[in-house]
Structure 1
C-alpha cells in the first residue's frame, strides 16, 4: 500500500497508519432496520420500489439522541446493477463495531443490459445522484431517532457509488435540495471510481457511459458528462476525501489524484492498494486486508470527525426587531426559542456584552431600553462550541 501525498491530509493518513494494525474494528451486534422508503416529496415509486429504499444498522444498545457519527454507503455496479444489501456484512460489523450508525442506500438504475437505442425516457443522469441526495436528506431528518448525528455524516461508495458520493460531496445541489448543509458531510471515501466522466465517455466503455449519463447528442443538449464529473466541482469548501484506488492502473491513479488536488491543499489524499477493483470494496472491514486499507479508512474517518464542526443552531422564535416598552414600564420581556441542527449536549446563551452561560429553550430576558444582541451556540458531543446564531433588536419607549 502507498499513499500519494496530495496536501497535508495524506501525510497525516500515512502517519496514523503506522500506529494502526490492519483489520476491522471489533465487531459487535448490530440492530437492523431495512427497506426504509426515503421518498420526501411524494414522487411515484420506481420499479421495483426497492430502488428508493435504504437500510440502517446501529450498534446494539444505540438509542435515540446518542449523537453517533453516521456512515452512509452507496453501492457500485456500473450505475445499472447492484443493491444496498450485497457484500455488506463486513461493513456493518466494522462501522457499528466502531460505534457508528451505518446506512446503505439504493438508487434508481439505468437499463441492464443497455439498450443500444438509448431511449430518451430511460433512467440516467441526474436520476442517480438525485436519489442519493434525497436519501441523505431523509437521513438528515430522521437518523437522530436511530442514535445518529446528522451533523457528522461520512460518505463512502464503491465504483459507480464512488462517483456518486464524490459528486454529492462536491456539488451541494443534490443534498442541499433537501435542506442538508454541506458542512454536515464531514468526510468522503470514494473507492476506485471515475471522477471525470467527460474523459471516459468516448473510450472503449462508451456504451456504459452513454447508458448512464448521455449519448453525445444528449450531452450536447444538457452537458451531462461535465455536470456528472466531481473533479469539475471539487474545491476547498468540500469535505475532506480519502480516494482509494488500484496501485497498478496509472489512469485510475491520475484520475484520483486530479480529484484530490482539486480539493485544495490538505483536503484530499490518494491511497493506492495492491487490490483489484472488487477487492478494494471487499477489503473494507474484511479479514483479508494485508495492505491495511481498512485501517487507513478508519484513521481518515477518525480525523475527519475530530475536525468536524459542532452542531449549528436554528432560532425558531424571537421578538420583533423593534420592541416597545409598556407605558410606565422600565423593562421589556423578550423570549427566544431555538434548536440544534443535529445532536447537541446543550446550549450557551449570551446577551449583549455578558458571558456565555448554559441555557435551554426558551430563554427569556427582561431588558432595558436601547439596542441589544442575543447569541446562542450549541455544545457538541465532544464538548466543542459551535458557531453562534445572532439576533439584534432594539427596545424603545412607547409613543405618547
Structure 2
C-alpha cells in the first residue's frame, strides 16, 4: 500500500484521501478540530467524519471546507457548493470565494500537476473595470505557465463604485487564502504561490504584500513572492499631490488618511516577500514609483528587482508569456523563488 501511495501524483493522492471513509484525508485541515471534538472516536468506518459533521458549526473554516469537498453525508444538505477536484489539463471557471458575484476566480490546471506552483493573477482596470477572463490577462500567461506545469489562477474582485481599493485588496487576499486552502485538490502546493497583478491589480497585490494585516485578516498563508506589472501607485499620497488622472480621484478620494491607508509605500513597515517591479519607461511616473518602493524595501532588508522596459503599459500585461525580455525577467525572478 505504501508503494502505491508513493507513486501517486499530489493530485491523485489528494483525491484518494478525500475518498477515504476513515477521514485520513482530513488530518491536515482538521487536526485541531479532531482534538477538540472527536479525540475519543476510533478511526474507521467513517466515524471520525461523522463526528466532525455533528460539530460542523464549531469547526475551523479549512476543516468545514474539506468536509464539503468530500461531499455531503447521506441526507445532508451542504451549506456551500461541493467542489470536486479539478482534472489535470482542465479549467475550473467561476469558482466563488465569497458571496458577492464579483468574488470569483478561474483555475487553469496543467496536464501534469504535482506539487505545482501557483501563479495568482489580479487584473487591472483603474480599480473600476476589467475581468479575469480578458484575453490580455490570461491567453499568453496560461499557455506559458501551463507548459511549465504551474497552476494559473485569474481572479475577479469587487470594484468601484461598489468597493474601494482597500476592499478590493481584501477581496484578493481572501481569494488567495481560498486558493491555498484548495491547492491540494488541484495538484498544487499552497506554499508555492506567487502573486501577480497589472496596473491597478499590481497596486493591489503590492498593498497586500506591504500591509501584513490584510493578508492576516483574510487567512492567507505565507507565499513566495510578488510580481507587480507597471503600477504607478506605489506611493498614493505622492500621486494625489501631483498632477494625475481623474481615475485616481475616483479610486482614492480626497482624504489624505485614506491615501496613506491604501498606499503600499506608506504601509510597508517590515521586510516583505521578494518583489519584482516591472515598469514602462514610456510612463516616467511608473518607474519613479517602482524605484521609490524598491529603495524602501531594500532599506528594510528585503529582496527587490526593478526592471524598466521600453514597452507600453498594455504590452507589459498582454505580452507576458511570449518569448521576450519581460517573460525572461519574470522567469529568472521565479527561479530565485524555487519556481521553474
Indicate if the aligned counterparts of 2:165 and 2:204 stay in contact, CA closer than 8 A: no
Distance change >3 Å, CA 98–CA 208, structure 1 → 2: same
CA distance in 1, matches of 2:327, 2:339: 18
| Candidates 111, 121, 124, aligned match of 1:60 | 111
Match of 2:144 in 1: 94
Match of 2:291? 257
The structure with the largest strand share of the pair is 1
Question: Deviations along 1:242-266, whole A, 9 cap, x unmatched?
Answer: 1000124332212101111211256
Q: Which residue of 2 aligns with 1:69?
A: 117
Match of 1:110 in 2: 160
RMSD: 2.0
Q: Which residue of 2 aligns with 1:323?
A: none
- Which residue pairs with 2:186 in the alignment? 146
How far apart, CA to CA, are the structure 2 residues paired with 1:262 and 1:94? 32
- Count of matched residue pairs: 248
Q: Which residue of 1 aligns with 2:91?
A: 32
Partner of 2:337: 304
Mean alpha-carbon deviation: is it higher for 160-169 or for 226-235? 226-235
User: Which of residues 272, 281, 295 is equivalent to 1:238?
Assistant: 272
Question: Could you tell me how far 1:192 is from its partner in structure 2?
Answer: 0.5
How far is 1:207 from its partner?
2.9
Give the TM-score, by structure 1 length: 0.59
Q: Distance in 2 between matches of 1:279 and 1:125?
A: 24
- Partner Cα separation in structure 2 for residue 100 and residue 124 of structure 1: 31
Match of 1:19 in 2: none
Tell me which protein shows more helix as a share of its residues: 2
The one-character-per-residue Cα deviations of 1:196-254 (angstroms, maximum 9, x if unpaired) are 1111124443531222222x2xx25xx22111111123355311111000124332212
Unmatched segments (≥5 aa) in structure 2:
1-87
Distance in 2 (alpha carbons) for counterparts of 1:234 and 1:99: 33
Change (3 A) 1:235 1:301: farther
Do structure 1's residue 228 and structure 2's residue 262 form an aligned pair? yes
TM-score, L = length of structure 2:
0.69
Q: Contact between 2:177 and 2:220, CA under 8 Å: does it hold in 1?
A: yes
2:245 & 2:335 partners in 1: Cα distance?
A: 38
Partner of 2:226: 188
| SS in structure 1 at match of 2:118 | strand
Q: Look up the match of 2:128.
A: 80
Distance in 1 separating the partners of 2:204 and 2:159: 12
Once residues 96 and 306 of structure 1 are traced to their aligned partners in structure 2, the CA distance between those partners, rounded to angstroms, is 13
Q: What per-residue deviation string (whole Å, max 9, x for no partner) do you get for residues 251-301 of structure 1? A: 2212101111211256111001110100111120135x3xx1101101101
1:155-203 C-alpha deviation (Å, 9 max, x unpaired): 110000000111111112222113223xx22111101002111111244
Q: Secondary structure in 2 aligned to 1:85?
A: coil
How far apart are the structure 2 equivalents of 1:255 and 1:204?
A: 14
Structure 2 equivalent of residue 127 of structure 1: 167
Match of 2:74 in 1: none
CA gap of 1:136–1:202, structure 2 versus 1, over 3 A, is: same
Structure 2 CA distance, aligned partners of 1:230 and 1:154?
17
Alignment partners' CA distance in 1, 2:302 and 2:166 = 30
Displacement of 1:140 in angstroms is 1.5
CA contact (8 A) 1:190 1:242 kept: yes
1:155 to 168, 191, 195: 195
Partner of 1:126, secondary structure, is helix
Q: Alignment partner of 2:337: what SS?
A: helix
Q: Structure 2 CA distance, aligned partners of 1:208 and 1:188?
A: 24
Q: Which has the higher contact order (CA 8 A, sep 6+)?
A: 1
Cα distance in 2 between the residues matched to 1:206 and 1:236: 30
